[in-house]
Amino acid sequence: MNTPFHLDDHKRRSQPLAPPPERYFEQLPMRVMARVQPDAAPGLAGSWGWLQQLSAPVRTALASAVVLGGFAASFFLNQPSSTPIPRYSVASLAAVPQAEMVQYLLASEQRVTLTDLAEVASPALATPDAYLQASPAELQDALDAQPSDETYF
C-alpha cells in the first residue's frame, strides 16, 4: 500500500542550487555535437559507404526511383501472356457427334439440368470483319423477333 504524499509536509531548501557555469547553455549544443560524431559502421563503409557520400536530395531521388522501378517491374511481370490460350476443350467437344453425346447423357445416372447447360461456354462465333449495314426497319424486325420477359417491364 502506498503512503500518501503531500508536498506541503516537506520543507523547502533555504538556499537554491548552485548556478550553472558562465555561458554553459550557449556552449552545450556544440559540446553535444562534438561528442556525437557520425561513426561509419564497419560493414556499411565497404558496401554501402558510397550511399552516405551522396547528398540528401540525391538519396531521396534514388530511393524513389528504386521504389518506382520495383512497382513497374512487378506490374509488367504480372501481365497476362500475349499468346492466346487455345480452346482445346471446345474444339474437341465440337468433333464429337451429337448422337454419341445424347447417348452418353442418357446413359449416365446424373441428369443434366438447364443450369448445367447454361454454364457451358459456347464456342466462339465468327464475327464479320465489318459490321453489317442494316436499315431501321430491319433492326426493328430483329428486335421484335427476340423473346422478351415481362418481369423486366
Mean pLDDT of successive 10-residue stretches along the chain, which has 153 residues: 83 79 92 78 65 90 96 89 63 79 77 68 59 79 78 60
pLDDT for the residue numbered 48:
77
CA 71/CA 62 separation, integer angstroms: 14
Kindly give, in sequence order, each residue whose CB lies less than 8 Å from that of residue 65, ignoring residues fewer than 6 positions away: none
Kindly give, in sequence order, each residue whose CB lies less than 8 Å from that of residue 28, ignoring residues fewer than 6 positions away: none
Residue 51's nearest CA partner among 62, 42, 43 is 62
End-to-end alpha-carbon separation of the chain, Å?
A: 79
pLDDT for the residue numbered 107:
79
Please report how many Cα atoms fall inside a 13 Å half-sphere around the Cα of residue 91, on the Cβ side: 4
Assigned C-alpha cell, 39: 561513426
pLDDT for the residue numbered 23:
92
pTM of the model: 0.29
